[in-house]
Structure 1
Amino acid sequence: MNIRLNCYMLGILLMMGGLPAVAQNTDTLRLSEAIQMGLEENYSVQIAANNKNIADNNYTLGNAGFLPTLDAVASKDYNIQDSEQIFASGDEQNVSGARSNSLSASALLEWTVFDGTRMFISYDKLAELQQASAIEAQINMENTVADISAAYYTVILEQARVNVLQNSVDLSRERLRLARTKYEVGNTSKLEYLAAQVDYNADTSALIQQKEQLYNTKVDLNTFLVREPDTDFAVPNQIDANMDLSIGELREKALSSNPNLLLARRNQHISYLEVRELEAERWPQILVNLGYSYNSSVAEAGFVLGRRANGVNYGVAARLNIFNGFNKNRQIQNARILTENQDLQLKELTQELKAQLEKTYINYTNSTILLELESENLEIARENARIALERYRLGNSNALELREAQINAVQAESRLIDAIYSTKIAEIDLLRLSGQMVSSR
């Protein structure tokens, strides 16, 4: 069952004989349009998407250490020297400014074929990091949708309050007109006329302040949508609230779909894989290598005036750390402690989620009860205000009676607006806690 609240104060319109509400001349912004705009333009959403792309790029066999490395090196060297050589035969060779140059090039392929299964563990960890990044992006999206939705309904709330106060000003203006007419014909005192003027001014002042509050909430929503702060827009005249949320279904969804809980579980498994990575480093590494080299040199002095060599080299190597100051044991112990911390954080988050869900649902339930109660109160206040206005017109009541009926009607409408708004905000929080904020849109 859905409850729809009309933001215009229909009861006041009736008692005023059909006075118009505040006109809307700008285009109406729908919630779906605001959410789409926010998800496309919001900076935090874009940053989260970029972080997810980084995690996607990191999830490769090469980054995990499965693939070989291939390096190529080439160099060309030149040398100018003065040389003086005396041979065993007694001959001498003196060369001034002797030039020489050498060219070398090599390529080396190195491949780790065994590292204690560390590469397999690293690949699994990269997969977990990729999934964790996707969940973080989901958390950001859900929070953005929740923030936009709350800001959107706050605009509707403040607009509804503007309409209530506008109608209250219209009623005060009508009362002021009647009081002035009665005063001019001598049917009432100047005191009553001045009291009507004071009440009209007070209502006008409240309306001005409320319009300022409405403007500020529109600025807040524009900020979420990455628009110019002064961009004007209209909103629908009602808030639709779902009255059928079930605590049992919400509990089940929260434990299985809450993105913060899902992220904590991923981080828990990542910590476990990091321990296994460190333990794998205790095993020896076995590497195979294959290389090719080419060298040539030319000289103007010396025994060898020219030389060239090229060939292939290959081999197998094993590497094992014997002792590193017990640092490996320390690292593994710390990693296990961090894993234990992740377990504790997961339990703590689960407990906090359950508590927050229960408190939010109680708020939601109470808001629905208040909504029904305030709806009934509003009907009574409407009828009382209509009767009070007619009695004042006929001279059968005084200004205090009309003012009290007016205030009661305004307060009843305001409480009803607040109740439907509180119900909707609680609904948004429940959907966010149960991981349904995006899927429900």
Structure 2
Amino acid sequence: MIKHRLTLFLVSIINAISVNGQDTVNYNLDKLIEIAVKHNHNVQISRNNVDIAENNASLGNAGILPEISLTGNASLSSNDTKAEFSGNIPTSEQDGAKSINYGGGVEMSRTLFQGFYSVNKYKKLKSQAELSGIKLQTEIENTIVAVTRSYYTYLSIVKDHNIAIENLTISKERLKKVENNLLFGQSNKNERLNAQSALNADSIQLLNLENQRKKAYHDLLKSLGKEIKNIADIKSQKLPLDLLLLNYNQLKSKLEENNKSLKQAKTNIGISQLEYKMTKASRFPNIKLSTGYGYNQQEFDVGVLTYNRTLGFDVGISLSYNLFDFGQRRKNIQNAKIALQNEKLNIDKIELQLNQDFEKAWSDYTLQLKSIEIEKKNLTNEKARFQNVKDQYYLGQTDNLTFRDAQLSLARAKSQLFNARINAKLAELELLRISGALVK
């Protein structure tokens, strides 16, 4: 089995995951990826394909090794026989005359020359085994990306869910404050209705996010390829999103060497070159050597020869060549050459697309880094603004619309900063995938 070492550059971790009625079990992102890589069905199928390809990549399967076979035979016949001979040998006639024939032996045959067909076939089988290993790495990459995206999507919704809880708490305090003021004539019914409307809106938002959280949670489990019954919820949203601070030149220099799609294309072009050589082998004669050691015994009731036995070696060599096949050989060679040209064109296409994808991914990554800094400043500003508006509101120096606007702006700022960090991690993940640094 080809050994693949996973280099996971995913450093984002959650602190804890609660277990229903049991002790706390830590399922951080690396652990979830480990589970998915082991149990994801597409990854398991790819692993099986690697085993099949490696089993096929043998000298015997390529036709390089000799074929050895054991043979045996036995026959008995009974016939009414009349045999007339020339010369003075009398006629022999017998009803129910028996003849017995039995024997056995070991035979070995080997193709000596076939235009290097077997050698190139063996190289092709080895290349196909290598290709299946690259496909496995690609499937592991896809699984890592899918699990990570599901994981961050879930955390983003949970973060918004917690913000909604904070909003609901603020709205409850506001309604309570308004109702108290109403008792002392310091407020009016319209202000109470506004406070109640804000509370109702926050309650509905919380219910919607709770529903989204459950769906995202099950999507996360689905991406693992295995049901994990003990995971109940992610308690901590204090998510460290430390970025790797990727280097453009380092990633770019390794792009064409490590990208899995390009590696597959390069391996495919090698396979096409070997198939072209295998097809051209039909232009050469086929020379085959065979040898064996056998025993044979015959017994006859009628005839001059009533007993015959042979024991010993035999060896032979044969040569065959197809003189005419109605142009099929020429067409096969032409088709193999065209297929090789297509693989070369495919590499050019992938290289062009790869460089474009890398530049777009790097641009997105740098944009997300800048967005984080802007969102940090925005959150600081919104916190200060809300606190000022809140103090003024409770002193009766501002209206409820200004308070509500500051409350919602603060909630958006918290959510936007968290999502900016997640988007930066996903952009980082995409860069690692494209540059082939995610799985080695």
Sort the TM-score into its range (normalised by shorter chain): 0.7 to 0.9
Residue of structure 2 equivalent to 1:335: 336
Residue of structure 2 equivalent to 1:106: 105
Q: 1:57 to 1:79 in 2, by over 3 A?
A: same
In the alignment, the residues of structure 2 paired with residue 255 and residue 363 of structure 1 have an alpha-carbon distance, to the nearest angstrom, of 20
Secondary structure of the residue aligned to 1:323 is coil
Q: Which aligned pairs between 1:34-433 and structure 2 lie closer than 5 A?
A: 34-81=32-79, 83=80, 85=82, 87=84, 93=93, 95=95, 100-228=99-227, 231-234=231-234, 237-242=238-243, 244-298=245-299, 306-433=307-434
Q: 1:6 to 1:210 in 2, by over 3 A?
A: farther
8 Å contact 2:81–2:302 — kept in the other structure?
A: no
- Gap regions ≥5 residues in structure 2: 1-10
Q: 1:24 to 1:105 in 2, by over 3 A?
A: closer
Instruction: Give the letter for the 1:275 counterpart.
Output: Y
8 Å contact 1:239–1:421 — kept in the other structure?
A: no
- 1:81-119 deviations in whole A, cap 9, x for unaligned? 4x15375799774525x5554323232211112222222
Instruction: Give the letter for the 2:51 counterpart.
Output: N
Q: 1:284 to 1:155 in 2, by over 3 A?
A: same
Instruction: Give the letter for the 1:373 counterpart.
Output: I
Per-residue deviation, 1:144:
1.4
Instruction: Give the letter for the 1:183 counterpart.
Output: L
Secondary structure of the residue aligned to 2:283 is coil
In the alignment, the residues of structure 2 paired with residue 129 and residue 86 of structure 1 have an alpha-carbon distance, to the nearest angstrom, of 63
* 69-78 or 300-309, which deviates more: 300-309
8 Å contact 1:5–1:417 — kept in the other structure?
A: no
In the alignment, the residues of structure 1 paired with residue 205 and residue 420 of structure 2 have an alpha-carbon distance, to the nearest angstrom, of 21
Secondary structure of the residue aligned to 2:253 is helix
8 Å contact 2:98–2:301 — kept in the other structure?
A: yes
In the alignment, the residues of structure 2 paired with residue 90 and residue 301 of structure 1 have an alpha-carbon distance, to the nearest angstrom, of 12
Secondary structure of the residue aligned to 2:316 is strand
8 Å contact 2:83–2:302 — kept in the other structure?
A: no
Q: 1:303 to 1:173 in 2, by over 3 A?
A: farther
In the alignment, the residues of structure 1 paired with residue 211 and residue 259 of structure 2 have an alpha-carbon distance, to the nearest angstrom, of 37
In the alignment, the residues of structure 2 paired with residue 398 and residue 204 of structure 1 have an alpha-carbon distance, to the nearest angstrom, of 22
Mapped pair 1:33 → 2:35? no
* 166-175 or 234-243, which deviates more: 234-243
8 Å contact 1:239–1:420 — kept in the other structure?
A: no
Q: 1:427 to 1:340 in 2, by over 3 A?
A: same
Q: 1:227 to 1:130 in 2, by over 3 A?
A: closer
8 Å contact 1:285–1:320 — kept in the other structure?
A: yes
8 Å contact 2:121–2:278 — kept in the other structure?
A: yes
8 Å contact 2:158–2:237 — kept in the other structure?
A: no
8 Å contact 2:83–2:303 — kept in the other structure?
A: no
Instruction: Give the letter for the 1:398 counterpart.
Output: D
- Gap regions ≥5 residues in structure 1: 8-22
8 Å contact 2:81–2:94 — kept in the other structure?
A: yes
Secondary structure of the residue aligned to 2:72 is strand
In the alignment, the residues of structure 2 paired with residue 311 and residue 84 of structure 1 have an alpha-carbon distance, to the nearest angstrom, of 31
Instruction: Give the letter for the 1:341 counterpart.
Output: N
Secondary structure of the residue aligned to 1:242 is coil
Per-residue deviation, 1:50:
1.4
RMSD: 2.8
8 Å contact 2:13–2:28 — kept in the other structure?
A: no
Q: 1:5 to 1:282 in 2, by over 3 A?
A: closer
In the alignment, the residues of structure 2 paired with residue 132 and residue 201 of structure 1 have an alpha-carbon distance, to the nearest angstrom, of 58
Per-residue deviation, 1:70:
1.1
Normalised to the residue count of structure 1, the TM-score between the two structures is 0.88
Secondary structure of the residue aligned to 1:227 is coil
Secondary structure of the residue aligned to 1:281 is helix
Q: 1:393 to 1:349 in 2, by over 3 A?
A: same
* 85-94 or 412-421, which deviates more: 85-94
Instruction: Give the letter for the 2:428 counterpart.
Output: E
In the alignment, the residues of structure 2 paired with residue 302 and residue 159 of structure 1 have an alpha-carbon distance, to the nearest angstrom, of 99
- 1:293-345 deviations in whole A, cap 9, x for unaligned? 32234455666555433332111111222111111111111111011100010
In the alignment, the residues of structure 2 paired with residue 201 and residue 103 of structure 1 have an alpha-carbon distance, to the nearest angstrom, of 98
In the alignment, the residues of structure 1 paired with residue 193 and residue 18 of structure 2 have an alpha-carbon distance, to the nearest angstrom, of 33
Instruction: Give the letter for the 2:163 counterpart.
Output: V
In the alignment, the residues of structure 2 paired with residue 138 and residue 129 of structure 1 have an alpha-carbon distance, to the nearest angstrom, of 14
8 Å contact 2:141–2:438 — kept in the other structure?
A: yes
In the alignment, the residues of structure 1 paired with residue 65 and residue 18 of structure 2 have an alpha-carbon distance, to the nearest angstrom, of 64
8 Å contact 1:274–1:335 — kept in the other structure?
A: yes
